Amino acid sequence: MQQAAKLCWHKSHYAATEINKLANYTVEMDHPFIKEFVVQCPGPVQEINDELLYHFGIIGGYDLGTDYPNRENHMLLCVTEMNSKDEIDSLVLALDAIAKGNLPEHHHAH
């Protein structure tokens, strides 16, 4: 169990750090977290999630604005020990591409 928690912590912090490096996203790094963290997005979370799924085949995070009006454009992302580094890197690249408008063609599930 501890190994899983440790992996979660490392992977989620790796993901958060990488996303935080992106020009148009801000991660709330000042709150301790194990696997879930909040990302401030450059636009509506629902739109970003739609683009993640449509263009990259990636399921995005939870739209906190749904429950908290002051959390508009804030996405709750969950990274666990089940997520590979490649998956995390793909998510980071996808978020960056969406913010820059560099969208590939429609992603077809394998």
Predicted confidence band at 110 (pLDDT cuts at 50, 70, 90)? low
Task: Quote the pLDDT of residue 46.
Answer: 97
Whether the predicted pLDDT of 102 surpasses 90: yes
Instruction: Evaluate whether residue 109 is within a structural domain.
Output: no
Task: Quote the pLDDT of residue 3.
Answer: 85
Tell me the CATH number at 65.
3.90.1150.10
Task: Quote the pLDDT of residue 109.
Answer: 66
Cα–Cα distance, 13 to 77 (Å, whole number): 11
Instruction: Evaluate whether residue 106 is within a structural domain.
Output: no
Query: Per-residue pLDDT tens for 29-76?
Result: 888 899 999 999 999 999 999 999 999 999 999 999 999 999 999 999
List CB contacts of 38: < 8 A, sequence separation 6 or more.
Answer: 27, 28, 31, 64, 71, 74, 75, 76, 77
Range of the domain at 96: 2-100
